[in-house]
Chain A
Amino acid sequence: MKRAFAIARAEMLILRRNLWLFMATLIMLSFSLALSFAGSAPTGTLGVDMLTVSVASMTTLSVYLAPLLALMMGFDAVAGDRDRGSLALLLAYPAGRAEILLGKLMAQLAALAVAMVIGFGAAGAVAAWFGGAGPESLIALVRLVATSILLGAVFLVLGYALSALSSGAAAAAGLSAGVWLVFVVLYDLGLLGAVVMDSGGVFTQKVFPWVMVANPADAFRLWNVAASESVALSSGMAGAASALPGWAAPLSLLLWPALGFLLACAAFRRVEP
């Protein structure tokens, strides 16, 4: 564990020095603020405070942005060191491969968390200041930040796995883009197509919600939506959320980082530098 912290410390220095921390925070901040202002229109019609609306739109934003930022940080983890030729020396030291990945995960997840807290926090504060906030909408904001960090963790470890599996950093970047597209865009499109074809049959009733919650990006959306009625109302996802037990989405979003980490470690163990 001491070794994992040593790796994390060096990785944090790298993230700060190559401006990744700054850029991630800037991206989160600017998108959240923009969405908060743009999404302030329907407040009156739904009868909820502005922070609730803001959280609903930021949930949608985070589904796209958190996986993207995480994959962009993660894809280099193994492949970058291997391309540079510094991996063999690192592995000659008495740190296990799981410890190395854990160290990188701690640093990169911390960087993501900083970006999320500052970005969503600032946007939430602005929304609350201008349009009011209640205890429920504050909890929704905290939940959004926490689940966004979890979602980031999922795609960080998936990025590590791709990084270890691919032949080089460029290939890892390409694979990461593909994974992002599949989980965030194509998966939902495919499900949508299936639901339309099925036209309200058994698939839509019984299978569809489970298939949906198996995708961490959708689990993230469902968790935020199901937990807060007013967010569900303003994001129009009440239907799918009500068909599942309350533990399904949290379970999926908590299982994914653990399974992804095991997968990344297994892939990393096969790497011969």
Chain B
Amino acid sequence: MDNANSPLQIRALDKFRGRTQVLHGIDLDIAPGERLALLGHNGAGKSTLIKAVLGLIRHEGGSIRICGAKPGTGAARAATAFLPEAASFHPALTGHEQLGLFARLAGERADIIRLLERVGLGEAMHRRIGAYSKGMRQRLGLAQVLLGRPKLALLDEPTSGLDPISRQDLYAIINELAGQGAAVLIASHALTEVEARTDRIAILRKGVKVADDTLAGLSAQAGLPVKLRVQAQGAEADRIALETGGRRINGASVEILCRPQDKMAELRKIAAMGDAVVDIDMVPPRLEDLYRHYSGEDRK
């Protein structure tokens, strides 16, 4: 079961804070080059899980292996890169000095200037961090993730405080990391962002992993309805609604919810209506719907 090649292998992880159990038997694996989105509400245990992997906090049960090493050991720390939520640094140092310190701590001979330019801090690298904006500090945090070649990158809310363009850059950098073979874990709230940019999605709810699959896999398991939106010709909307069992949402449109496996049958029925139908849109369940489903808001 101990696979030394696996960047991250978590088995039956339990963590207590006082008497409350904050993580319940978490199993999680990330393969080299894989991008995993870890989703969950505030307090669901995302940051706790990351800190346990970093070896910053002790766990009570289960095991964590980073490339076969225990968390907190030199080997594990050397293999791991970490971007904390709202990265912060000593305000008296410059970005260049701070990154230089990290490089020396990691034992890396990195091209610090190139790294800072890579994240868009080329102009500001000799200014004190105290004068940086939140987004600039986040970029500096990102630059230190790129130091060395991490086998495992743990990014806690990496897009918080970044403007949309920086987010594009961020995901470009994440793809670069994954392209180099790093396993990337992204803990996030920004569902629409991670939807298209990760390979797999895990959802935590109150310290329990309630989902762990690709977006398509999660959709299939959840069995959430596909939404068909039919635009009707003139006054035909009522008839279409009646025939398909859909619901009129405005003067000329009908919304039909159907199970994924019934989708084709429904489409054929609508196509057979001929000119009565002007247009049709098909909306598969989005990550937001899936997230609501798995994180429990839909469960009664």
Contact = CB atoms under 8 A, between A and B. Distances in A.
Nearest to B129: A86
A79 to B, nearest CB: 13
A92 B97 contact: no
A94 B101 contact: no
Interface string A132-164: 000000000000000000000000000000000
Contacts, number: 75
Contacts of B54: 88, 91-92
Interface residues of B, number: 29
Interface stretch (B29-37, B82-90, B166-174): B82-90
A13 B80 CA distance: 27
Contact of B78 (A85, A89, A94, A273): A94
A263 interface: no
B101 A9 contact: yes
A14 B104 CA distance: 17
Interface in A1-31: 2-3, 5-7, 9-10, 13-14, 17-18
B89 A7 contact: no
Contacts of A81: 90
Given A88-B51, A88-B84, A273-B56, A18 B92 contact: yes
B92 A92 contact: no
A84 B105 contact: no
Nearest to B51: A88
A101 to B, nearest CB: 14
Contact of A85 (B56, B77, B84, B144): B84
Interface string B29-59: 0000000000000000000000100101110
B105 A3 contact: yes
A240 interface: no
B141 A95 contact: no
Nearest to A14: B92
Interface string B59-84: 00000000000000010011010101
B101 A92 contact: no
B67 to A, nearest CB: 13
28 contacts: A3-B104, A3-B107, A6-B101, A6-B105, A7-B101, A7-B105, A9-B101, A10-B90, A13-B93, A14-B93, A17-B128, A18-B92, A84-B90, A85-B84, A85-B86, A85-B87, A86-B88, A88-B51, A88-B54, A88-B56, A88-B82, A89-B82, A89-B84, A89-B87, A89-B144, A94-B78, A272-B57, A273-B51
Interface of A: 2-3, 5-7, 9-10, 13-14, 17-18, 81, 84-86, 88-95, 272-273
Interface of B: 51, 54, 56-58, 74, 77-78, 80, 82, 84, 86-90, 92-93, 97-98, 101-102, 104-107, 128, 141, 144
